[in-house]
Every structure is written in C-alpha cells, then in structure tokens.
Chain A
Amino acid sequence: MFSLKETKRSALISLWFMFLTFPVLVIKVDAIEQTVYWRWENMLYIGLGSFILSIFGKIFFERQKSRRERQIAEKIEKHSLIQRALRDPKYLYPLGAAFFLFAVTYPYLFSTYQINVMTTALMYVVLGLGLNIVVGVAGLLDLGYVAFYLVGAYSYGLLNMHFGLGFWTVLPIGALLAALLGILLGFPVLRLRGDYLAIVTLAFGEIIRLIMENWNDFSQGPSGISNIPRPGLLGFDLTLDQAITYLYYLMIVMVLVTIFVVNRLQNSRLGRAWVALREDEIACQAMGIDKTKTKLTAFALGATWAGMVGVIFAAKTTFINPASFTFLESAIILAIVVLGGMGSILGVILGAVILILLPEYLRALSDYRMLAFGAIMVSMMVFRPQGLISNVRRHYHYRPKKEQQK
C-alpha cells in the first residue's frame, strides 16, 4: 500500500529532523556541575514522530489530490457543509436564532471575567471585518491598521480629557478622524501595490505610535491617559459589573451593524469595484472605474471601523497608552482575516473568536501558547490557504430566453 520509495523519503525526513533538533533536544549542558547529559531517547522520539507524521502528511496530500481530480472530472461544485447550511434558510434561520439567543443570555450565564473576554473578542471581530474591507475585498495589504485603532482610542481619551466630551459624542468623531487619516494614508500609497504597499503601511502604523509615545505635551507619552470614563446609559450611574455588561451588549449591537453594513457594501457597486481593483488594476480602469476614488474609499471605510472600536477600547479599559497599539496588534488582526478566510464575513468572525478566545482559555498551557499559535498558522497556510471559511460570492447563471419560458 505504501511504496518503498515513499518510506525511504519519510525515513530521510525523520533523519533530517533528528539532525536538526539534535543540539536542542539531545545535548543538555549543566554549566554549574560542568557536565553534559546526552538524552538520546529524545532523538528516538523525534525520529519516530516525524516519520509517522510525514507518512500521514503524504497520505493526506495524495487523497486530497485524487479527490480534486475527481471533482474536476465530474464537474462538481464543492461547497463545505457550513457554506451549504448558510445558503439554505432552513438551517440558516434556526442557527442564527440560536446564536442570537446565546449572545443575549451570555452575561447571565457566565462570570464578569468571561464577559470581558468575550467583549474583547467581539471588538476584534469588528476590527477584522473592517480590515477585511481593505485586505480581503480590495486586496490592499495594510500592515498599519492599528494606527486607525489608535486614533479612535486617543480621540476619546484626549477629547474627554481636554473638553469633557462624552462617549457617544466621540464615537462618530473618532470614526471620522480615523477615516480622514485613512484618506491621508491613501493618497501617498495610491500608486503602490503588494509588498511596497505593505511596507509603507507598516511604517505608517509605527510612525503614528512613535508620535504618541514621544509627543509628551500632546498625548502624555508612554504614561498614557488614565481615568477615561465608561460609556453612560441615559445618565444612570452604572456599577462596574453593569458597565461591563453594558459594553458587552454595545459590542453585540456594533457587530450586528458592522455585519449588515459590510455585507451590503460587498454586494454593492462599490464592492464590485473593490473586487475588480483586487483582481486587475488595468482592466479595472478599462471598465471605467475610478481607481483613486475606489482605493481611497476602501482605506477610509476600513479605517472607520477601527476608529469606532478604538473609542470603545478606550472606554472599556479606561486607560490607554501607546504600548497597546504595537505592530503585533496589526499582525493579529491581519491573522484573523487570513485565518478566517479573506473576504468572508463568517470566516473573519470565526477567526477572531479562535485567535482571541483560544489563547485566553489556554492560559494553563501559557508556556506553549505561542508555539501552538505558530504551528496552527503554518498548518493552516499549508492545508487551507483559502482560510477556514472561504468566500463564496453569489453566483449567477446565464439561461437563454427559451429555457426561462419553460
């Protein structure tokens, strides 16, 4: 069933792994007693493990290949179970209702800590959906997305400190400022694509953060802004627990609004222009699409969501400083989009929940958290590069007139 050649290949792989891990896993130097331990048994485990894994990997790839060939031969349009369920209202509505019920009752079922964690996850859902407009739909790789998030957070912090503006006043202002900054970033990068765009946006994100870190008179530097008030509810004084629950419901509403808007945007004229821009710029111009306007709206609309979540973030933590807006943050949001599936709304939601909640619940294994994170990312990109839930756009099929009359 398994040819000699394959076995030999796997054996070679395991040998290679044993060699690579030899210095780390076999040799152990005790510097105090000046002795060296040789842990040969580790080498054996590594060899066996990698041998078995490589055989499984090979079988997996073979099966996937043959399945793909069969699909092409039989012209089957393959959709995953989730996608089929989403298409069919018979499953979609009960599923949606169940999720909604769960989301509404969540604060009554779990502790304050859990609510807080879930609020954070929901914030990343919105951030992911916002970045999805820029990266997933319009195809502009933005590594400085966190800059807009920062602008939102600081606009609440600063406007509240200096002018005493409340949460609800600043929410649209923060969104607007972030959108303006998005357009400002958009102008110089209009001519850039791909790698170059990624580098410029990365630098942009860092510049904004460094300004906030060093311009003490304006932003209070690394010490940040504290005592930012939580959002009020019609003038009632809320206890801490109530405020957390309130924020949670606020985020639920926010997520629903975002999903609605992003969904409408994707199926709109503008959404189609974004997709065309992602696919081919020259053809996009030949279709009469204004490239400048399309790119700028993508940046601005993506940034808007980050600005709003930024305001909410400031209100949630009541303290902000530049350390919350490092490149890692951008990378995580980007990972959410890529892991979930570029362009797919449900994928992004799932990606955010996995990437934010998993590390939280795996605190017991915190030493290995980053290791697992890396392993998941690598295996995702190898086995499912299109993301957890790939985006399936609506399909239209052409039927000649005669058939329609039947």
Chain B
Amino acid sequence: MLELHKVHSYYGNIQALKGVSLKINEGEIISLIGANGAGKSTTLMSVCGIVSPRSGKISFEGRSIHQLPADQIVTLGISQVPEGRHIFPHLSVRENLDMGAFLRTDKDGIKRDLDYVFSLFPILAERSGQAGGNLSGGEQQMLAMSRALMARPKLLLLDEPSMGLAPLIIQQIFDIIKKINQEQNTTIFLVEQNAYQALQISDRGYVIENGHITLAQDASELMQNPAVQKAYLGI
C-alpha cells in the first residue's frame, strides 16, 4: 500500500533520513521504533508531505506521492495525527471533528463517522461543546485521533500517541488503535517511543537508528530480539 524507497530527507543542511526504505501492506499495523532524533517523526512527515524528501521515492497505492503538497496527500486517503496532537484549541470538540471532515462532502457518511468516533471515545461526546484547549492531555489525544478518523483515511499515521500520557490512558489508546484497525480495516503506521506497547499490537516493526532502518521483522520476533530488548524494551 505504502512504500518508501531510499528516502533521504533534510532539515536545511542536516540530513535526518539516510535512505529509509519500508513497506506497508493494506490492513496492517506497522510500528516504527527508535530513539530520540533517530528520524521517526521525519519519516512520517516525509510521507505526509510536510518535509519533502530530497531524493528517493514514496508511493501510495502505486502512485508516487513524494512530490505532492501536503494537502493533496490527504485527499488520497492518508491522514496523520501530528506529534503533540495539534488540536485546534479555540474550536469546540465538535468543530475540531468537523475540520477533520473538511475534504468530505457526503453528509450522511460524516454523520455516521461522527457517531462511530463518539462510540470509540464516549468522553468526547460529553465534551462536544467544550473548547479543544480545555481538554486533558488524554482527551486531546483522543480528539486528535478522532479528527484524523473523520477524514475516513485508508492509512492512518500516528506520531507518538502515548506522548505525555498516564500508563492507564496509554493502554486505552492502544486498545482503540487495534480496534480501529480491525473494525474499519484502516492501515496504521505507528511511530512510537513506547516500543513495548507499540510492538504488542503491531503486525510488523521497523527499528530506525540515525536515519537508517536497522531491523525489519515481525513484531513478535522483534520483541524476542535481545538487541531490541536491551535498547528499547528495557528488559
């Protein structure tokens, strides 16, 4: 479904990605784990067009997308939950969700998806009139995910959904990621520091170090890998 081929991305003169290649099939949950500054978020940003790669190819459903601007990539069905959530703080929860469906025109479909995300996160239904900025961190993360789902993406990119959240909430969020994958058949690309949680729900995993992909295995194998255990799982 999504394929990155030898992607090199830069911030100014600093090279963040040094030839990243990875492949995501439809219906999978893939996680990308790595340390701070390894290039996890840059990989995601390269996919959704915010940082355009200097060389290499990214293709989505057979179409090359690395030269498209960010907004057109969204129209193809790739929706991202940015790192640090980036909800619209002064808009209400409901308005945030409406913004997620910005590109859609099918009113009935939007209504159905709204009911769906409210069934996933009932707390958001309660808070629908409140300003997004007044929500707690966990609720904001839920809102950011729901907002991305409102675009009805084929591929959902999640950048550190567990950032700054309590362990109990993290568990809840990951359960729901799994649920979205199963119920909506949404392909999920997950970038995480919290390697243990991420690998537990994933089909396959990639390990990124200094802009290179160093390992690509099934998630269960990665969890057994002594090097990964030592470096990322703290076992």
Q: How far is the CA of A398 from the CA of B86 in the complex (A)?
A: 22
Q: How far is the CA of A275 from the CA of B99 in the complex (A)?
A: 10
**Residues of chain B within 8 A of A397, CB atoms compared:** 94, 128-129
**Contact residue among B89, B90, B100 (Cβ-Cβ distance under 8 Å from A287):** B100
Contact residues of B with A, CB < 8 Å? 48, 50, 69-72, 74-75, 79-82, 86-92, 94-95, 98-100, 102-103, 114-115, 118, 125, 128-129, 147-148, 151
CB pair B86–A286 under 8 Å, yes or no, is yes
> Distance (Å) between the CB of B149 and the closest chain A CB?
12
CB pair A272–B118 under 8 Å, yes or no, is no
**Contact residue among B72, B81, B114, B148 (Cβ-Cβ distance under 8 Å from A398):** B114
Given contacts A272-B98, A393-B95, contact A285 B125 (CB under 8 A): no
Given contacts A395-B129, A398-B118, contact A286 B102 (CB under 8 A): no
Q: How far is the CA of A197 from the CA of B88 in the complex (A)?
A: 21
**Residues of chain A within 8 A of B50, CB atoms compared:** 282, 285
Q: How far is the CA of A269 from the CA of B75 in the complex (A)?
A: 16
CB pair B89–A280 under 8 Å, yes or no, is yes
Given contacts A398-B114, A401-B115, 11 further A-B contacts (CB under 8 A): A273-B102, A276-B88, A280-B86, A280-B87, A280-B88, A285-B74, A286-B74, A287-B74, A288-B103, A395-B129, A398-B94
A241 at interface by CB-CB < 8 Å: no
Chosen A-B contacts, 8 in total, with CB atoms closer than 8 Å, are: A272-B98, A275-B88, A279-B89, A280-B87, A282-B82, A395-B92, A395-B129, A396-B95
**Residues of chain B within 8 A of A276, CB atoms compared:** 88, 91, 99, 102
Closest to A293 in B: B71
Q: How far is the CA of A289 from the CA of B91 in the complex (A)?
A: 16
Q: How far is the CA of A347 from the CA of B201 in the complex (A)?
A: 52
Closest to B49 in A: A285
CB pair A288–B75 under 8 Å, yes or no, is yes
Most interface-central of A275, A396, A398 (chain B CB within 10 A)? A398
Q: How far is the CA of A395 from the CA of B90 in the complex (A)?
A: 12
> Distance (Å) between the CB of A293 and the closest chain B CB?
9
CB pair B102–A287 under 8 Å, yes or no, is yes
> Distance (Å) between the CB of B157 and the closest chain A CB?
9
CB pair A286–B98 under 8 Å, yes or no, is no
Contact with B along A181-198 (1 / 0, CB 8 A): 000000000000000000
Closest to A397 in B: B129
How many chain A residues have a CB neighbour from B under 8 Å?
Answer: 25
Q: How far is the CA of A279 from the CA of B125 in the complex (A)?
A: 22
**Residues of chain B within 8 A of A369, CB atoms compared:** none
Closest to B133 in A: A279
Most interface-central of A269, A287, A396 (chain B CB within 10 A)? A287
**Residues of chain A within 8 A of B72, CB atoms compared:** 288
Restricting to A270-323, which residues have a CB under 8 Å from any CB of B? 272-273, 275-276, 279-280, 282-283, 285-292
Chain B at the A interface: SS class? mixed
**Residues of chain B within 8 A of A269, CB atoms compared:** 102
**Residues of chain A within 8 A of B90, CB atoms compared:** 279
**Residues of chain A within 8 A of B114, CB atoms compared:** 398
A400 at interface by CB-CB < 8 Å: yes
**Contact residue among A286, A291, A396, A398 (Cβ-Cβ distance under 8 Å from B80):** A286
> Distance (Å) between the CB of A386 and the closest chain B CB?
11
Most interface-central of A285, A289, A290, A396 (chain B CB within 10 A)? A285
Given contacts A286-B148, A396-B95, contact A291 B86 (CB under 8 A): no
**Residues of chain A within 8 A of B88, CB atoms compared:** 275-276, 279-280, 283
> Distance (Å) between the CB of A286 and the closest chain B CB?
5
Q: How far is the CA of A400 from the CA of B102 in the complex (A)?
A: 22
CB pair B91–A279 under 8 Å, yes or no, is yes
**Residues of chain A within 8 A of B89, CB atoms compared:** 279-280
> Which 7 interchain pairs have the tightest Cβ spacing?
A288-B74, A279-B88, A283-B86, A398-B128, A285-B70, A290-B71, A288-B103
> Distance (Å) between the CB of B220 and the closest chain A CB?
32
Q: How far is the CA of A400 from the CA of B75 in the complex (A)?
A: 29
**Residues of chain A within 8 A of B95, CB atoms compared:** 393, 396
